[in-house]
A and B are shown apart, each in its own frame.
Chain A
Amino acid sequence: MNGDDLIRSARFRKEREADWRRLEQLVMAAESRGLQHMDFAETRDLASLYRQATTSLAIAREISLDKALLGYLEALTARAYLCVYAPQQRLGGLIERFFTRSAPQAMRRSWLYILLGFLCMALGTLAGYLLYFENNDWFYVFMPSELSGGRGPDATTESLRDSIYGHDTGSTGLGAFATYLFSHNTRIAIFVFGLGVFACAPAILLTFYNGLILGAFVAVHVDRGLGPDIAGWLSVHGVTELSAICIACGGGLQLGAALLFPGDRTRAEALRLAGRDAVKLALVAALMLIVAAVLEGFARQLINETGPRLAIGWGVGALWLAWFCLAGRERS
């Protein structure tokens, strides 16, 4: 069959079909192997064939009524577009960049929100502490029963001391690590971040409430003269863990603020901008929670002195602070 007896659009297709097939092969190769691993000649061909194919598509839309041809060209150019203009990012240095630059920079950029998070927690703690001394019954209002584990205004001083220094119930190591990670505080941290997105108020309330629990809990022990001991017991992991909650709260607040007060931008755009830092805060909080889990699962079981407990807790806290404050500054 020669080309002369074909109609115009069929001739058009016949002349270009080989190029389209070649482009199809190159697109498949680029998708499976990645552009970085292709030859120079192949990538050059990919780019130029893609441009030819878009031209073909434009012409075919004008002159051809062949549905199969139009569908093929639409799909082929769209696939080729994604290869040419949306290539796969290189992954090298991703984790290193997060630790050395982007995470501490994000922390510093959103210091105000993190401060707000800490403020919520601190106010809650203060309120819980004072309310307890006003009336012991407040403890039962704040504290979920499964969390107190028998520790409360009714417990004897001895049993309180035991639960601080006693070798905890059987589970150590991996089991404690796991049960811990799903403990109250992790859930709180994830919730304050998640709720922050939907609106600020629930995140603030939840952080404040968590502070209330903490304040009442500390107050019980201070009331019995166990102040330094509970400080040591809490410090081991609490410094890291409570900071993680506050940071997660800060991230949530940032998103909630973007949603509530987008300024001149659309809400979706404001969310996108706020998300850049908020996600890093969430990742930092997650990292801190895992470290806290290790500290609680292992360090607290092994060390039974208040002094070393304080030193470990606040030492780790200082390390976090140093990372946030010192890492990733641009040299001028």
Chain B
Amino acid sequence: MFRRWKESRRALPSPDTLMPPEGVPLTLPIAGVGVRLAAQITDIIITTIAAVCLVILLLVTNLTSPQTMVAVGALLFFLIRIPYYVCAEIAWNGQTLGKRLMKIKVVSHDGGPLTAHALVLRNLMKEAEIFLPGTLLLTLDAATPLESLASLVWVLTALLIPVFNRYRRRLGDMMAGTHVIHLPVPVLLKDLASEAPRPLQNAKKIVFLAHQLDHYGAFELQTLETLLRNQGTPPGSVSATQRDATITAIVEKIRKKIGYADPVPPADRLRFLQAFYNAQREHLEQRQLFGDRRENKHYAKGDAET
């Protein structure tokens, strides 16, 4: 039964993908519990600072006496906190300051616009789920173990619901029909293949044959891409020697695997890798166009088994 449950879970589409009307699945990665907690803590700090400032202002202007200060402070924290979350999320379309810092965002579960109703609901429920039992836990002492236990169970239930949920939704998210995503940051790096390796005057062009390019798949290619992109970033001497050693090892490994006969001189190693990347990518992309996707170097074994 457990296995069937597991299989039914696997059959579901990934929670990260969203199908827009254009019919091209998009990726909106679900934000984890940790990053949301961090955003939450940032927001709590911000609202606490605001409340403390106001209390000090009230004290300075003699509007409140020290006896009632605690009550007034608690009231202000309460009165600042709830509108802060609601107004910030309405004004920034699903982001508070903490969420902006953590680059996460509330989106509507069905992919549509966020309604004010949904934002008010999810933030009111935050009070009922976390803050109330939380403050209760803080204010209670050992004299009332039953109430402490009850609020502890309450907080734990509220915290566990998102963990056991595909979309990491709180109770408030479920009621409001929202969930929280990582806001993707589009950064377009340079295309490695367009920076063609410049052949030195006396060096001959590095050429690979088709059978030499049949050994690797997309995974190895993209690993190589990451390696090449990281070149030249850290100029430190220790890491530089380490890097050189890595590159030497990789070049030797590739040479042995594909049966490349000529030795590669140390000055040409990067050029060799660059040329290999280009040739390999062209080769794999061409294979892919003909329906031959090669995920990694074990692609041939998978075919043999099935």
Contact = CB atoms under 8 A, between A and B. Distances in A.
A89 B190 CA distance: 37
B226 A57 contact: no
Range, interface on chain A: 35 or more
Interface string B157-196: 1000000000001010011110000011111111111101
Interface in B55-81: 63-65, 67-68, 71-72, 74-75, 78
Contacts of B22: 51, 54-55
A174 B63 contact: yes
Contacts of A64: 285
B128 A193 contact: yes
Contact of A174 (B68, B116, B121, B169): B68
Given A194-B127, A279-B121, A282-B124, A182 B285 contact: no
A7 B193 contact: yes
Range, interface on chain B: 35 or more
Nearest to A59: B24
A197 interface: yes
Nearest to B119: A89
Contact of B196 (A5, A81, A91, A171): A5
Interface string A246-278: 000000000100000000000010011011101
Query: Which of B157, B185, B285 is packed against the most chain A CB atoms within 10 Å?
Result: B285
B184 A1 contact: no
Interface in B79-126: 90-91, 93, 105, 107-108, 111-117, 120-121, 124-125
A68 B188 contact: yes
Query: Which of B20, B107, B133, B169 is packed against the most chain A CB atoms within 10 Å?
Result: B20
A320 B284 CA distance: 72
Given A66-B191, A68-B191, A272-B176, A7 B67 contact: no
B107 A272 contact: no
B27 interface: yes
Interface string A70-93: 011111111101100111110100
Given A7-B278, A271-B174, A272-B177, A1 B194 contact: yes
Contacts of A73: 186
A72 to B, nearest CB: 4
A27 B171 CA distance: 31
A272 B117 CA distance: 11
B218 A175 contact: no
Interface in B14-36: 18, 20-22, 24, 26-28
A14 B188 contact: no
B174 A13 contact: no
Contacts of B174: 268, 271-272
B61 to A, nearest CB: 11
B186 A8 contact: no
A296 to B, nearest CB: 13
A67 B121 contact: no
A1 B154 contact: no
A306 B78 CA distance: 34
Contacts of B190: 68
Given A66-B281, A78-B28, A86-B112, A175 B65 contact: yes
A86 B191 contact: no
A319 interface: no
A66 B278 contact: no
B222 interface: yes
A78 B26 contact: yes
A173 to B, nearest CB: 9
Contacts of A191: 132
A201 to B, nearest CB: 13
A57 B24 contact: yes
A190 B126 CA distance: 12
A86 B185 CA distance: 17
Given A85-B112, A193-B128, A72 B188 contact: yes
Given A7-B281, A79-B186, A276 B117 contact: yes
A91 B116 contact: yes
Contacts of A177: 75
Contacts of B288: 62-63, 65
Contacts of B124: 279, 282-283
B188 A69 contact: yes
Given A85-B111, A175-B64, A275-B175, A190 B193 contact: no
B292 interface: no
Contact of B189 (A1, A68, A194): A68
List the 10 closest A-B pairs by CB distance, nearest first: A175-B68, A75-B184, A194-B128, A275-B175, A68-B189, A76-B186, A75-B186, A178-B71, A7-B282, A279-B121
Interface of A: 1, 5-10, 13-14, 17, 20-21, 24, 27, 31, 51, 54-55, 57-58, 62-69, 71-79, 81-82, 85-89, 91, 94, 171, 174-175, 177-179, 181-182, 190-191, 193-194, 197-198, 255, 268, 271-272, 274-276, 278-279, 282-283
21 contacts: A9-B281, A9-B285, A24-B186, A54-B24, A55-B24, A68-B192, A68-B225, A72-B186, A73-B186, A78-B184, A86-B113, A87-B113, A88-B113, A89-B90, A89-B114, A171-B65, A175-B68, A179-B68, A182-B74, A193-B128, A194-B132
